[in-house]
Structure formats: C-alpha cells, structure tokens
C-alpha cells in the first residue's frame, strides 16, 4: 500500500472514531454491583446497602436484581411528601401466606425494601432524584428486624445507620412551589414504635387489601400485583382479591366514597398505633378501615389524656364540625407535642387534611 493510501486510511479511521465518540451517550458514573442477591439472615445487617446486591448496575438507579419484585400500595403512609419505591425479596421456593385479616405472613429470610427519595421537580418524578434513605425489614427465625441505610452525598451507596439522621432536602412541588425541609431519618427505636403489634415488629403496608392493584413491571408488562406475586411464587395460591375488600385510594374519588377514602388514609397512617394491639391501644381510639363503632372512631369521644394536644377541644370528632375536632387539629399541627402522627413528618399533609375535614363536615349528628 502506498504512503498516500496509508494516510487516507488513517484519516478515515480518525473520522470514524470522532463520529463514534460524538454519538455516544455520556457514560453514567456510580458504584456498580453485579451478580445475584447476597443475603444471609444470620449475618445481617450488612454495613452497606450494596452488600446485599438487591439492585443491579449503578446502585442509585435502583434497578431490581433477579428475584427482587417491586410493589406499590393503594394508599401509602405519608412521609413529608417523599416518593418511595418498594421491593420484596424472598429465598427461592419460599412464599407468603394470608391470615384471617388479609395480612401477609412472610417466611423467614424475607426482606422488604423501601427507598425514600425526592425528585427535584415533582412534575417529572422519574428524573433527578435526591435519595434519602433505604429501610429494610429483615425476617429471621420468626422475628422482624428494622434497619436503615442512609445514602451518601454522591449517592453511590447507603450506609447502615442506627442512630438516625437529619438531611436537608429541597424540591419543586406539582404546583411549582419551592419546598425545603430537614428530612428526619428515624433511629432504630422509632422504627419499632411504628412497626409494633403486641410488642413485636410487624410490617405495616403489605396487606391483600392494599396490594390489590395493577402495576407496570420492569419487563414492560402491567399486571395485578397479587397475580404477579403468585406467578413469581411469592404468594400462596388462592383468590385473595375476592376474599378481602380492596382498600380505597385516599386521593382518588373514583376508588370509593368520602368515608372509604378517609378511613383508608386513617387506617394506613394512624391505624398501626391506634389499634387494639398497637402502642396507642389505651387511647380507645381505633382507626382501622373496618371500624364501625362511633366511639372507637373518636366520634363524640373525650380524649383520654391529650394535654395540649386537644387544643381546648372536647371530642376526637364532632360531626359536622371539623374545627371542633381534635383529630383534625392534631393533623394540622407540626408542634411535636401536638402533631399526629407523632413521628414521620415535619410537614402538614394538606391534601389529607382537606379530605378529613370534608369527611367530618359531612358527618351527621351532634355531641350534646
């Protein structure tokens, strides 16, 4: 080959290389994990979230590894407007059963995974996340353990945290308003205070009634979650969706009546404590979705010991009078000595306040 042809060939190769570089997407950076899930209940909790390999590839992308199944709740717990992505993992061949109340009874070595994050712009929830924490519920020898991992500033990985943390975060909400808070990561004791049933830790969210909805999965298919859990082998066979009434979506009027949606919200956000076997059982206020006793709902019920939490009001709920009702008063406050729930928020959930206000306003009767 002549010298001129060599020069020409090199020139063409250089142009091809330049074109290739210009048309490549920018390489994403971050801690990458490969291989299957690594979980041994007797050795948990691990120091880093990445040690479990629940997520594959770049860790902050939260792409579930094989066997890690995403799920969503119809009505979720409010946590200062944080977005959440939830996953469940079980060892091969293990599956959950359903008890008489429609709660899922998980086998040993199950892990429930919940990531808390804030999109920079809530109108674009799938972009530019600010990861706060990842909470795990690990089951070993019949007992659950709650552990929390806090993400580092670069969002490469999350580290085990026992004592809790405070992380400043800001975002733009759906209405274009700038929001800033000091996000509180709970400590281990606070985790237990919510996940407490008869003195032992139990999951709150995964119930048949709250899972019975369609979800779009990473494989592109949209499917009812109960069906997908059964196909995956994670849920015992049975027509559970027919056996237990579907929970209303608190923010969707098409899903139920005003009462249905109000009770769904109170059940998920308050019912884990205000339950006959919950930490607030002595209050006599039981806020389960199927509660029909007016007194247990707080209607015309004086508080047991509200202190300044009553705001000078006489009853938990006064039919037709939201502003005279202690329940709504405490939802509207952020003072730690007044606010309900006691932990898990520093902001008022204004949309839920509006729902409960409307529900109380339409109740008939009086407390005289």
| Phi-psi sector, 109: left (phi>0), alpha (psi -120 to 50), beta | left
Strands 214-216 and 222-224 come out as: antiparallel
Kindly indicate the confidence band of residue 187, based on its pLDDT and cuts at 50, 70 and 90. confident
129-140 β-sheet, strand order: 69-71, 83-89, 111-119, 129-140, 143-151, 158-161
Q: Which secondary-structure segment (H or E) carries 188?
A: helix 188-194
d(CA 193, CA 1): 80
Helix axis angle, 350-362 to 258-270, nearest 10°? 130
From 7-11, 83-87, 93-97, 309-313, the region with the lowest mean pLDDT: 7-11
DSSP summary character for residue 91: -
pLDDT (average), residues 298-326: 91
* Banded pLDDT at 153 (limits 50, 70, 90): very high
Check whether the bond before 341 is cis (ω within 30° of 0).
Answer: yes
pTM of the model: 0.88
What is the three-class DSSP state of 19?
Answer: helix
Q: Which of 171, 177, 146, 157 is nearest to 52 (CA)?
A: 157
Kindly state the helix (H) or strand (E) to which residue 53 belongs, with its residue range: none
- pLDDT reading at 17 higher than 60: no
SS3 235: strand
Among 49-53, 84-88, 253-257, 288-292, the minimum mean pLDDT is found in 288-292
What is the pLDDT at residue 230? 98
pLDDT at 295 over 60: yes
- Give the model confidence (pLDDT) of 119-138 as tens digits: 999 999 999 999 999 999 99
Annotate 253-285 with DSSP letters as a single string.
GGGS-HHHHHHHHHHHHHTTTSSTTSTTGGG--
Between 10-14, 108-112, 157-161, 341-345, the lowest mean confidence (pLDDT) is in 10-14
What is the pLDDT, as a whole number, of residue 26? Answer: 42
92-104: per-residue pLDDT in tens? Answer: 999 999 999 999 9
| Choice among 222-231, 274-283, 355-364 with the minimum mean pLDDT | 274-283
- Give pLDDT, residue 65: 98
Q: For residue 24, name the pLDDT band (cuts at 50, 70, 90).
A: very low
Cα–Cα distance measured from residue 202 to residue 143, given in angstroms and rounded to the nearest whole number: 8
Of the candidates 334, 314, 332, 333, the residue with the CA atom closest to the CA atom of residue 324: 314
Contact 352, 265 (CB under 8 A): yes
- Side-chain-side CA neighbours of 304 within 13 Å: the count stands at 10
pLDDT of residue 361: 98
Tell me the C-alpha distance between 294 and 298, whole Å.
6
287 within 8 A of 112, measured Cβ to Cβ: no
pLDDT in tens, 62-108: 999 999 999 999 999 999 999 999 999 999 999 999 999 999 999 99
Give which of 155, 179, 171, 73 is closest to 122, Cα–Cα. Answer: 171
pLDDT band at 363 (very low <50, low <70, confident <90, very high): very high
- β-strand partners of 224: 214
Please name every residue paired with 118 in a beta bridge, in sequence order, or none if there are none. Answer: 130
């Amino acid at each position: 080959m002549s010298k001129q042809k060599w020069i020409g060939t090199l020139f063409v190769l250089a142009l091809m290389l330049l074109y290739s570089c210009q048309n490549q997407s920018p390489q994403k950076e971050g801690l990458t994990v490969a291989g299957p899930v690594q979980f041994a209940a007797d050795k948990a909790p691990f120091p880093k979230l990445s040690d479990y390999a629940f997520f594959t590839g770049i860790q902050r992308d939260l792409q579930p590894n094989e066997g890690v199944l995403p799920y969503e709740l119809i009505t979720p717990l409010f946590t200062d407007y944080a977005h959440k992505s939830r996953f469940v993992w079980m060892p091969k061949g293990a599956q959950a059963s359903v008890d008489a109340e429609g709660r899922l009874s998980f086998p040993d070595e199950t892990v429930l995974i919940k990531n808390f994050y804030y999109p920079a712009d809530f109108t674009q929830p799938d972009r530019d996340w600010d990861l706060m924490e990842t909470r795990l519920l690990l089951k070993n020898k019949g007992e659950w353990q709650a552990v929390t991992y806090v993400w580092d500033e670069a969002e490469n990985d999350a580290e085990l945290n026992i004592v809790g943390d405070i992380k400043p975060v800001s975002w733009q909400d759906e209405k274009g308003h700038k929001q800033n808070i000091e996000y509180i990561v709970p400590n281990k004791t606070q985790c237990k205070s919510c996940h407490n049933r008869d003195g032992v830790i139990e999951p709150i969210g995964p119930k048949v009634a709250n899972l019975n909805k369609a979800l779009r999965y990473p494989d592109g298919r949209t499917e009812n979650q109960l069906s997908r859990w059964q196909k995956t082998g994670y849920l015992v066979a049975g027509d559970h969706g027919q056996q237990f009434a579907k929970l209303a979506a608190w923010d969707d009027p098409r899903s139920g009546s005003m009462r249905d949606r109000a009770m769904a919200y109170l059940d998920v956000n308050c019912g884990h404590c205000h339950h006959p076997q919950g930490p607030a059982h002595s209050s006599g206020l039981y806020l389960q979705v199927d509660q029909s006793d007016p007194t247990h709902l707080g209607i015309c019920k004086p508080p047991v010991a509200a202190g300044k939490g009553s705001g000078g009001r006489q009853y938990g709920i006064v039919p037709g009078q939201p502003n005279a009702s202690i329940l709504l008063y405490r939802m509207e406050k952020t003072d730690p000595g007044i606010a309900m729930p006691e932990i898990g928020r520093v902001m008022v959930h204004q949309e839920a306040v509006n729902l409960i206000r409307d529900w109380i306003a339409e109740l008939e009767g009086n407390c005289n």
